[in-house]
Every structure is written in structure tokens, then in C-alpha cells.
Amino acid sequence: MYKDASTPNTHSLIMGYLLWIFGFMGAHRFYYGKQVSGTIWFFTLGLFFVGWIIDLFLIPSMDREADWRFEEGPINYSLAWIFLTFLGIFGVHRFYMGKIITGVIYLFTGGLFLVGWLYDLYTLNEQIAAENRSR
């Protein structure tokens, strides 16, 4: 599975490596759509830091796989993930995707009392792909 000119570039390799710095918490795995292993990394500190080090070499393949899996379009995955990571409890990522009503709800409820933020952590890639398909 190699990239060629026809393969969309939905996820950023640079963003993957930046998130890898916090990878012992699963950040890069969530970004690339690997929620189950992201959760495992979160609760085990990247499988006790060993898996975190191994991921340094696996990120290019995770990037290629995410580029194949997710739909390219006007909503940028990396920007949406930055918004979710740093401003998610205020709903900024939802405003960015055009989901104004839920963005306002997140703004006034702290990301719907963090439960909505956790939901988005697991489903953001799919939400963006659906929005990109519909535009």
C-alpha cells in the first residue's frame, strides 16, 4: 500500500510525529483513526513506553493507511484535530466543521461535560469524512 499521485493526502505525517510526542497518551493513534489502540496507549502509557518507541517507526504506515481510509475534502483533518485537542471543550472543532448548534452546546457545557469531547475523540475522523463527502 504505497502512495501515488491519485492517493489523497488527508492526514499529515508531520502532525503524526508532533502528536507522537504525546503518543504515550495515544494522541497520534486517535489522529490516525486507531481508537482501540489509542485507548490502550492512554491507559498503559503507550504500553509502558515500549510501544510508544516502536510507533516512531510505524507512523509512516499509519499515515498511508489513514490517507486511504478517510475522505478528502474542504475540512482539514489536521486543523480539526488541533481544534479538538486544544479547544475541544469549547466546541471550536464543531464550529469549524459547520456544526454550529452542537458547537454552541459544547461552548456552554464544557464539551457536554467532557462526554461529548470523548465521543469526538473516537469519531472525529469519521465525522470529517462524512462532512467531506456531503460537500
pLDDT digits 0-9 by tens, 54-105: 999 999 999 999 999 999 999 999 999 999 999 999 999 999 999 999 999 9
d(CA 41, CA 5): 33
Q: What is the predicted pLDDT for the residue at 5?
A: 61
pTM of the shown model: 0.89
Domain boundaries in the chain? Answer: 13-69, 77-134
Question: Looking at residue 4, what is its pLDDT?
Answer: 62
Residue 22 has pLDDT above 90, yes or no: no
Find, among 82, 101, 108, 104, the residue nearest to 93 by Cα: 82
Q: What is the C-alpha to C-alpha distance for residues 97 and 74, in angstroms, rounded to an integer?
A: 9
Give the pLDDT confidence score for residue 8 in this predicted structure: 85
pLDDT at 7: 73
